Amino acid sequence: MNKTSAFYTPKHARLISKSSFKFAVISILLLGLSACTNNSIKPAKPDVVASSKPDTKHSDDRLNQTPEALSINELKLLQANATTKGNWSDYLYYSTLLWNKSNQNEAYQNQLENQAWSIVNSLSAQNIAELENSSYPEAQAWVSLLNAFKGSKYQIKQSLMNLNSFEADAIYHKHLLPRLLAEQPKSKSIHQIAVLLPMEGRYKVISQQIRSGIMKAFYASNQTITLKFYDSSELANLEATYTQAKQDGADRIIGPLRREALQILASFHDDNLLALNSIDSHAFTQFSFKSSQPNLQMVKKFETAGFERIGILSNDAHSSLGKAQELNDSWIAAGHSAILSVYPDQKPKLRKALGQLIHENLSKERQNNLRWLVGRKLDYFPRTRQDLDAIVIFDNAFRMAVFRPQFDFFELDTPVFGDTELTPANFQAIKQNPDLKSVSFLTYPATLNPVDLTSKFEAFGWDSFMVSTHNDALQNGNCLTNTKTGILRLDGNEIKQKLVWAKYDKTGTLLEEQE
């Protein structure tokens, strides 16, 4: 929607107090959790100059005077004529002029706001589109208010900020908006959480770990909430299982896990459901295990380090190659250079793969040409490329342990990075690994401070409990920081994670690395 940056106010109009609005917004937005910077982009507002003269296409409806010179009775007549003809842009314009001329009559101002809101709520989509494209910012401001309260609940905080910033002179800030905010449903106490997980079939092992993590988070809480677990293995019975959980008294639901299950429950539009995967839907909050966007964190770290040209190595498996291509595209989009080299996941030749990236083959060709020229055997050591600021490898820890010693062989001091695939499988049994010395990678906070958690899916289960019990705070712009899979924030209706950097030191001991 196009927004406007100008709002007509008659020359002698009283300034509108924002105190009641600010109090309402502050009380609804601020909670006692860590404030979180939202990365979503605020809608830009084009510069539009509001005219103080009536719209020429409706000039026959108005008296031959400047708007500020009209009396209250004359404005009421013009407002009534606009209502009769269905000229709602004119109606809102005259309502604003009446409101400003009635600055000593709070009751009448309140009445004007409520009448305008009632009318705007009753208009057709075509009428709303006409208001949105009106030359009057007075009319456009009412569309902004309508969209704020008719849109997704996940956008309400941003919408309120936009109203305060871009529609600060709108008349509804005095009485109507504080009342609408006060009428918003209050957060309900959580007494029972239902957990829907597939406890049979291919997801059984993962579900068991998620369940274990949820239970550990529950025992670390004040334990005033009842947990009930439901098997969601049979998709044909999923709706009945969901209904049963609600009938049993569930205030919140964690799960289901599979995307097919999420599609089935999307029609319920349950604000109290935390899905453990992601689909294209705004029916509920979504928390995917793969929502961390590590490529963006890598770009930030590399730019901070002053890198310009990086090499990227990846096997051709779908997961690894997809992440490698995301980093390649993000790095190039940021104005830098990247070289992506891919090797087969099945029966890979790792030394050859690294050699191709660092141009070992070109060095070998130069040696062969020189030997042919001089006619005798030469002592030879490959001279590889030195123009890469960093090398990022997308593969597992076993193969990284094969790659890393070759850097010493080629006398490369290029920094080496990996992603979450290097996260140890068992957090309670992390050993020294000299073959991974100096390798940095993105991982979960639980890797470095697991407490009694053993795996990444247990950490995911822990955080799903935390998100479910703090979802209202996340919707109000707060972050969850005492979590196991990363700092968590709500972006739209999706939970996003910020991972941490870990690094094996010179002895192969895993430590946290500062960004």
- In the chain, CATH 3.40.50.2300 covers 192-286, 294-513
Residue 44: per-residue pLDDT: 37
Which CATH code for domain 192-286? 3.40.50.2300
pLDDT above 70 for 251: yes
pLDDT at 40 over 70: no
Report the sign of the C-alpha dihedral through residues 313, 315, 316, 317, in that order: negative
- Residue 187 has what pLDDT? 63
Which pLDDT does position 375 carry in this prediction?
Answer: 57
Task: Convert the pLDDT of each residue in 324-363 to its tens digit.
Answer: 999 999 999 999 999 999 999 999 888 888 878 876 554 4
Q: Please give the pLDDT value at position 236.
A: 96
* 287-292 average pLDDT score: 89
Q: Where are the alpha helices (DSSP H) in 282-413?
A: 294-304, 318-333, 350-357, 360-374, 397-409
Name the strands in the sheet holding 487-491, side by side, starting at the edge strand that comes first in the sequence: 226-231, 192-197, 252-254, 273-275, 285-286, 494-498, 487-491
**Topology of the domain comprising 294-513:** Rossmann fold (3.40.50)
Query: Who contacts 460 (Cβ-Cβ below 8 Å, separation ≥6)?
Result: 209, 210, 213, 276, 289, 484, 485
Q: Would the pLDDT of 37 be above 80?
A: no
Q: What is the mean pLDDT of the chain?
A: 83
Please, what is the angle between helix 137-150 and helix 156-166, to 10°? 160
Question: Does the pLDDT of residue 366 top 80, yes or no?
Answer: no
Q: Residue 42: is its pLDDT beyond 80? A: no
- Assess whether pLDDT exceeds 50 at residue 1: no
439 backbone dihedrals φ, ψ, rounded to 5°: -85, 130
Average pLDDT value for residue range 294-311:
95
CB atoms within 10 A of CB 389: 16
- pLDDT value of residue 36: 62
- Where residue 451 falls among pLDDT bands split at 50, 70, 90? very high
Q: What is the pLDDT of residues 207-240, one digit of tens each?
A: 999 999 999 999 999 899 999 999 999 999 999 9
Q: In whole angstroms, how far apart are CA 392 and each of 66, 200, 299, 430, 476? A: 68, 37, 11, 22, 37
The predicted pLDDT at position 41 comes to 34
